[in-house]
Amino acid sequence: MNDRPPKVLDDALINTLGKVPLFAGLSRLQLIWLLSATSRVTVGANQLYFDEGDAADGLYVFIGGEAVVEKRSGDDWQLLSAVKPGQTFGEMAIVDQLPRSARVRAVTNCLALNLKASRLESSPEVAAVIYRNIAAMQTMRLRAANEALSSRPR
């Protein structure tokens, strides 16, 4: 990890990153590094951040606008969730590097930060924290899915 902060320090974005559950446990210096390791991605209304089946290259931190996660269902798209500022999407790509399982579409003009998996690997300390947080998030999702399945009438 490069311990020198970037020349332009964006406190608002660093504070935003500090509130993202995926980055819980990172120090301020690590958050500064994380911001410097990302690229800003602006997407216009009805444009895609990525499509279902695209190659996975990293995760995104949603900063602003309105976006939705959708999955193909026959000839249509099924809404899975809305993406809110401060949320992440595409984080499964960091772990499994499989093609995208859904698409993320901008409803309005949107801004997100993209963290490439290859860039994350250049800081093992930051990567370890993020991997642990991804595991915790996936465990919570699995428990919720199991609970929903077990409470359905048979």
The 8-class DSSP code of residue 152 comes to S
Q: Please, are residues 111 and 42 in contact by the beta-carbon 8 Å criterion?
A: yes
What is the pLDDT at residue 5? 46
Question: Model pTM?
Answer: 0.84
Tokens of 40: 């800003």
* Least confident segment among 87-96, 132-141, 145-154: 145-154
- The pLDDT assigned to 2 comes to 44
State the fold for domain 11-145: Jelly Rolls (2.60.120)
Q: Give pLDDT, residue 74.
A: 92
H or E segment at 76?
strand 76-83
What is the per-residue pLDDT across 48-75, written as a single tens digit (0 to 9) for each? 999 999 999 899 999 999 999 999 999 9
Q: Which residues lie below 8 Å from residue 14, measured CB to CB, with a gap of 6+?
A: 28, 31, 32, 35
CB 127 within 8 A of CB 58: no
Q: How far apart are CA 150 and CA 154, in angstroms?
A: 9
